[in-house]
Amino acid sequence: MTNSLFARAALAQAAMEYVPPLIRRTLLDETSFNEEFGFKTEAVISLGISGVAIQQTVLFDAVRSVLAGAENAEIVDEADRAWQLTNEAEEGALPVLALNANGERLMLPDFAVLSGEVDMRIRSLEQAAVDVNLPIDAKERWIEVLTERALEDDEIDTFHRDICNTPVHVKRAIRSEIDAGQSTISSLVPSSRDYYSRLVGTYDGCASSKEYAAGSGQAFLNSLSEWQPYEGFLFSLFLASHSTLTAEICIDHLGNDDLIRAFEFVEAHGDMLSRLGAFEVGLRILPQRPEVEPFLLQLVHRIRDDNLAGEQSDFKLFSALFVLVDGELSRTRLMSDTPPFYRRLASLAHAALMHRLIVQSGIEYKSFYEWAFSARFEHYYMQSLADMRTEPRWNPDLVDASQIKEDFFGRLMIAGNNYFGNMGDGELRETILGNGEQSLAKLSSFFRPYFPGPLEGSEESPNPLPEELARAIDEQLNTDDVDASSFIALVNSAIIFKITSGHADLAAKALRLGNYTLSKLEDKSQLVGILNGLATVAAASRSPALADELRILVRRYLRDPQYKFSIEEAMRVCLVASSSHQDLIDWRDFAGQWLTELASSQMEKNEAEDFCSRLTALLHSTPELWVSCSRADAALRALCEF
């Protein structure tokens, strides 16, 4: 190595100490980067949970020797223990490599891509590609290389990572960790963009879940059906977070026996999202595939009868897993370049995959969902508030297990109405569309089944405001005698119905005329509910005028001796109301000014610490806010250190 290259390598090595681990690993995986700076990595391979570690070059040289025909090869691990490597496969079969030492036996992954025989390399790739449903483009890239030559040492990790970043492999890995009781967030929630593209399809630039379902979603679901009809159907149900996606699930390739087997599995061992999706698919295909009829009522019962107060509630588990995944994706910023609906589609699908594995494992839910919910809640919550700028109709509180159950009830009832003619006159129709004591209508709360779902935040409400409700809102707000109850009709309508800017302007005018005081308040909870509701109105109707008035109202109640607003409550109203500004710059400036004002308020040290933590998570999810929030961040950090 020349002095010049040595100096460059030394500088590069010093700089790498300050590079985040994920970026450092990516750079060191690049052959061109290593060659440019003269880096030679001496990787050590750890074999599963055995604790055995072997230098990569030592292992791969031994593998090449055995694949070339040697009877065995000796390998010394990092603990100076000697192992014998042998190929236990029958002649003509793909290699089965094993390490043996003093009665202990370790099976190795498939390293046939190191073989000197092109046929063996291609056969190995073909088998692996079918097994894990490796996408065609990835498969073709490796075929091009393996047809020409065996892989180099520094390509093996890239190859195996490509195989591992598939839903089939991830499912197996997570199941092994759950069974071993050794799960971590990093192992439960993959940090690979390729994985999520292979779980829900590749984002195609569309603006809504409906557009995605008609484009890339449909193509992806078809590819699952063509891969392996039975397994493909079970994987397709992970995309059941929107009815437009379940409408694209095709079962034409499934024979009667496999279809029945799939419904039996989902009913007995499936996750809640798959049960909902299976019901919607089953009701749609019922006239052509009557063999699914016995399962439909069972699926409805599974959803209807889940005990939210119990420790084994599937809805509580699913809600917590969604928070864990979506919060981790926010922390890693893995999908910061896609709309929120696509990230949530991926989060819900992966949460459903984990949910299904936990159901199959039979482990106790309570401690798992409590850990999952708390582990990434802050990242989830602040990311979801920031998401409201582009998708204002879905807020982070709608992740509550009770609301998810209500959302499923709404989906079941909508499916029942859409396929009314497919149901008989028995218990299924009565449960879905009737009014009996055990019907969904009787067991659901007023309007909550029709709140927007997590993939519907960008869509305008399809429900026009009923004339009588519009008239009531006008009468309550267009008067000189406005009190707290005058806003209830408006805030209760904000999520369900399409609220016009005219109604938002009425609310803004009423706040001004009331001198920014809500008279006749019943208690603090009513105040919080009204302000959160008005913030939602401002966001959904894109009314900056109402957001401006809310800022003044919150300022007043931060100092109120009787109904004093907390900083955390004020921050939530601020970020929801800020979503009245859809343009990023306008949103950044409005939210930043309000947050800076809140950071200058009087507060206890523990409030400042909580505020600082929330703001840090928000700035991480949306770095654009640093421009307008740097003063707020500095003020809070000073308070925390005081």
User: Residue 226 is encoded by which pair of tokens?
Assistant: 């063509």
Helix (H) or strand (E) holding 122: helix 118-132
Chain centroid to CA 93: how far? 40
Distances 107 to 73, 84, 86, 133, 436 between C-alpha atoms, Å: 15, 12, 10, 23, 59
- Average of pLDDT values for 206-219? 95
- Judge whether residue 315 has pLDDT over 90: yes
Q: How far apart are CA 390 and CA 497, in angstroms?
A: 18
pLDDT band at 208 (very low <50, low <70, confident <90, very high): very high
What's residue 362's pLDDT?
87
In angstroms, the first-to-last Cα distance of the chain is 53
- Judge whether residue 4 has pLDDT over 80: no
Distances 246 to 35, 207, 219, 365 between C-alpha atoms, Å: 49, 19, 13, 27
Tell me the pLDDT of the chain averaged across its residues: 92
Bridge partners, 83 (sequence order) = 75
- Judge whether residue 17 has pLDDT over 80: no
- Judge whether residue 120 has pLDDT over 80: yes
User: Residue 373 is encoded by which pair of tokens?
Assistant: 């919910």
pLDDT band at 102 (very low <50, low <70, confident <90, very high): confident
pLDDT per residue over 560-599, tens digit each? Answer: 999 999 999 999 999 999 999 999 999 999 999 999 999 9
Nearest to 210 by CA among 388, 540, 456, 398: 456
Give the Cα-Cα-Cα angle 37, 43, 47 (nearest 5 degrees).
Answer: 160
pLDDT per residue over 31-43, tens digit each? Answer: 566 556 655 556 8
Bridge partners, 44 (sequence order) = 55
In terms of C-beta density within 10 A (0-12 exposed, 13-18 middle, 19 or more buried), how is residue 54 classed?
A: buried
Q: How far apart are CA 104 and CA 60, in angstroms?
A: 20
Q: How far apart are CA 563 and CA 502, in angstroms?
A: 29
pTM over 0.85? The answer is yes
Strand 97-101 with 82-87, pairing: antiparallel
- Average of pLDDT values for 492-507? 90
- Judge whether residue 425 has pLDDT over 90: no
Question: Is 13 or 537 the better-scoring residue by pLDDT?
Answer: 537
User: Residue 43 is encoded by which pair of tokens?
Assistant: 């990787």
Q: How far apart are CA 224 and CA 238, in angstroms?
A: 12
Quickly count: other Cβ atoms within 10 Å of residue 91's Cβ. 4
Question: Is 482 or 257 the better-scoring residue by pLDDT?
Answer: 257
Quickly count: other Cβ atoms within 10 Å of residue 338's Cβ. 15
pLDDT band at 26 (very low <50, low <70, confident <90, very high): low
Question: Crossing angle of helices 256-269/340-361, nearest 10°?
Answer: 80
pLDDT per residue over 600-611, tens digit each? Answer: 998 999 999 999
Q: Sign of dihedral through CA atoms 181, 187, 190, 195?
A: negative
**35-50 exposure pattern, b = at least 16 Cβ within 10 A, e = fewer:** eebeeeeeeebebeee
- Average of pLDDT values for 272-280? 98
- Average of pLDDT values for 332-342? 96
Nearest to 145 by CA among 121, 111, 163: 121
What's residue 482's pLDDT?
87
Residues 6+ apart with CB under 8 A from 397: 403
- Average of pLDDT values for 414-429? 93
What's residue 55's pLDDT?
93
Nearest to 391 by CA among 292, 459, 491, 302: 459
What's residue 109's pLDDT?
87
Distances 101 to 67, 77, 98, 532, 590 between C-alpha atoms, Å: 20, 11, 10, 66, 67
What's residue 480's pLDDT?
82
Q: What is the total residue count of the chain? A: 642
Q: How far apart are CA 459 and CA 477, in angstroms?
A: 27
- Judge whether residue 6 has pLDDT over 60: no
User: Residue 470 is encoded by which pair of tokens?
Assistant: 């519009």
pLDDT per residue over 219-264, tens digit each? Answer: 999 999 999 999 999 999 999 999 999 999 999 999 999 999 999 9
Strand 97-101 with 104-107, pairing: antiparallel
Q: How far apart are CA 133 and CA 225, in angstroms?
A: 11
Q: How far apart are CA 40 and CA 54, in angstroms?
A: 17
DSSP class of residue 463?
S
Q: How far apart are CA 486 and CA 502, in angstroms?
A: 16
pLDDT band at 430 (very low <50, low <70, confident <90, very high): very high
What's residue 163's pLDDT?
95
pLDDT per residue over 52-67, tens digit each? Answer: 899 999 999 999 999 9
Q: How far apart are CA 611 and CA 576, in angstroms?
A: 16
Quickly count: other Cβ atoms within 10 Å of residue 534's Cβ. 28
- Judge whether residue 308 has pLDDT over 70: yes
Residue 384 near residue 396, CB atoms below 8 Å: yes
Chain centroid to CA 418: how far? 28
- Average of pLDDT values for 9-35? 62
Q: How far apart are CA 221 and CA 143, in angstroms?
A: 25
- Judge whether residue 115 has pLDDT over 60: yes
Share of the chain above pLDDT 90, in %: 81
What's residue 182's pLDDT?
80
What's residue 91's pLDDT?
86
Question: Crossing angle of helices 605-621/377-387, nearest 10°?
Answer: 60
pLDDT per residue over 543-565, tens digit each? Answer: 999 999 999 999 999 999 999 99
